[in-house]
Amino acid sequence: MSKSYRVLVLLFVLALAVAVISGCGEETSATTAAAGETTTTAATGGAAVPFKFGAAASFTGQYANYGGSLKGGADIAVAELNAAGGVNGGEVSYVTGDELGDPKEAVLVAQKLIDDPEVLFVDGHMFSGATLAAGPKYQDAGLPMISPSATNPDVTDLGEYIWRVCMTDQAQGEGLAAYAVTTLGMKKIAIFHSDNDYGKGLADAFEAAATAAGGEIVGREQYTDGDTDFKAQLTKIKDADPELLFLSGYYPEGSKIAAQVKELGMDVQMLGSDGYGSDELIKLGGASVEGMLISTFFDYSKVDPAIQKFVETYKTNNNGANPDWFAAASYDVIMVAAQAATKAGVNSREAINEALNGIEYSGLTGTFTFDENGDVQKPLNIVVVQDGKLVTAPKQP
């Protein structure tokens, strides 16, 4: 081959390369994320990687309102992120997994979300029992799970892909015990709790801390989720004559417990755990829950611009209903994951998980960073049912 011919061939190849490059507006490029994972991101003119997540909760059944709250918070976060251009240019969306609050169903939902390669993280699960069952699946698959509300201390021990934005039962139990004994001055205390992982774990922490603070536990009873008649246990508690009754469980049962407390003529201050922190308690319990004190990680009555913006948007989207702390925590889960992806510059499971380490987030449920175990520290708020509404309690922890 002559030198001149080789030059002509070279020029032809270069021209062809330029033509190919200039015509490739949909080309994508591979970007190496943390820990060697490779994901596809947009090149010039190409489509960005979607920011898709899974929402895992009870969307039907007796605990459907909890899933409704999670979805309500998620919808607001998705709308705000998409209005701002998405995350790393990718459109924000989610797919739901209905696990009914049941551990066995939670495992099936986890596998469904794991098998969807577009799902980058999971907003959920909500209940500790379901979370403890599903968590190992996410850990093994390398899919970040950020729970808005699973408080059992064992949750984040499942591994480095398991996170939460709520405080643990241990922290809440200690805080509520100090509030009951020291702030309220209640010395004779009874405990009535669900026998699930959450109810029992929180009751254990509360009892130990209340006793250490100088309180006397004069009675402790339990029930099973779904029960409707609590009079046998409450009669035993009434005979012990407590000043305060600590209720550890969820509001569907809690509303019925409160009604039966009134029916039995019990003169006792009720203090509900965070599982009671919703207007749904008031809808179900009516006048019987008036005066009940409740632990929460979000107080919708606070005069704060960000909180009130969220409240108004939620009410517009949900026929005037106020958001509970489960909705606010769901919003925070999505926003902190979006902040992590933005920090990493990559929409991928591994990149998001890595970027959650050391991130500082300020949201509806407080300002926090994750510790080495995936837990957060945040303030405990107490609200009281007053005139059919949840309002800030006069005495705070």
What average pLDDT does range 307-311 have in this prediction? 98
Region 252-258: mean pLDDT is 98
Place of tokens 């309220």: 184
Q: How far is CA 276 from CA 49, 84, 221, 325, in A?
A: 39, 34, 18, 10
CA 83, CA 86: separation in Å to the nearest integer?
Answer: 7
For every residue of 24-73, DSSP letters joined together read -TT-EEEEE-GGG-EEEEE-TTPPPPPEEEEEEE--SSTTHHHHHHHHHH
Task: Write out the two tokens for 163.
Answer: 């996170």
- Average per-residue pLDDT for the chain: 90
Exposed / middle / buried, residue 290 (Cβ in 10 Å: 0-12, 13-18, 19+): middle
Beta bridge partners of 97: 56
Q: Average of pLDDT values for 82-106? A: 98
Average pLDDT over residues 155-175: 97
Confidence class of residue 136 from pLDDT cuts 50, 70 and 90?
Answer: very high
Is 368 within 8 Å of 336 (Cβ atoms)? no
Q: Is 187 helix (H, G, I), strand (E, B) or coil?
A: coil
Model confidence band, residue 26 (pLDDT cutoffs 50, 70, 90): very low
Q: Does domain 51-167+303-379 have CATH number 3.40.50.2300?
A: yes
The CATH number that domain 170-296 falls under is 3.40.50.2300
Distance CA 224, CA 130 (A): 16
What's the token pair of residue 383? 């609200």
To the nearest whole percent, how much of the chain has pLDDT over 70? 88
Q: What is the pLDDT of residue 185?
A: 98
Distance, CA of 287 to CA of 389 (rounded, Å): 11
- Whether the pLDDT of residue 184 is over 60: the answer is yes
Question: In this predicted model, what pLDDT tens digit does every residue of 187-227 receive, in sequence order?
Answer: 999 999 999 999 999 999 999 999 999 999 999 999 999 99
pLDDT digits (tens, 9 = 90+) for 40-54: 333 334 589 999 999
- What is the distance in angstroms between the CA of the first residue and the CA of the last residue of the chain? 88
pLDDT given for residue 379 in this prediction:
85
pLDDT (0 to 100) of residue 46: 59
Output the pLDDT for position 385.
98
Cα 127–Cα 129–Cα 68 angle in degrees, nearest 5:
25
In this prediction the pTM is 0.82
Asked if pLDDT for residue 383 goes beyond 60, the answer is yes
- Residue range 244-256: mean pLDDT, rounded: 98
Q: Select the more confidently predicted residue: 45 or 309.
A: 309
> Of 300 and 38, which is predicted with more confidence?
300
Q: How confident is the model over 180-186, as a mean pLDDT?
A: 98
Tell me, what's the pLDDT at 219? 98
Q: Tell which wins on pLDDT, 10 or 80.
A: 80
Whether 51-167+303-379 shares its CATH topology with 170-296 is answered yes
Length of the chain as a residue count: 397
Q: Could you state, in order of their start, the residue ranges of all structural domains in the chain?
A: 51-167+303-379, 170-296
Q: How confident is the model at residue 29 (pLDDT cuts 50, 70, 90)?
A: very low
In angstroms, the CA 8 to CA 126 distance is: 67
Q: What is the mean pLDDT of residues 135-142?
A: 99
pLDDT above 90 for 13: no
Q: State the pLDDT at residue 171.
A: 95
Q: CA–CA separation, 118 vs 348, rounded Å?
A: 9
The residue type at 188? K
Q: What is the DSSP pairing of strand 51-57 with strand 38-42?
A: unpaired
Q: What is the rounded average pLDDT of the residues 13-26?
A: 34
The pLDDT of residue 25 is above 50: no
Mean pLDDT, range 289-300, rounded to an integer: 96
In whole angstroms, what is the distance from residue 2 CA to residue 4 CA? 5
List the alpha helices (DSSP H) in the chain.
Answer: 3-22, 64-83, 103-115, 128-141, 169-178, 197-212, 231-240, 251-263, 279-285, 305-317, 325-344, 349-356
Pairing verdict, β 92-98 and 38-42 = unpaired
**Whole-number pLDDT of residue 283:** 96
CB 189 within 8 A of CB 179: no
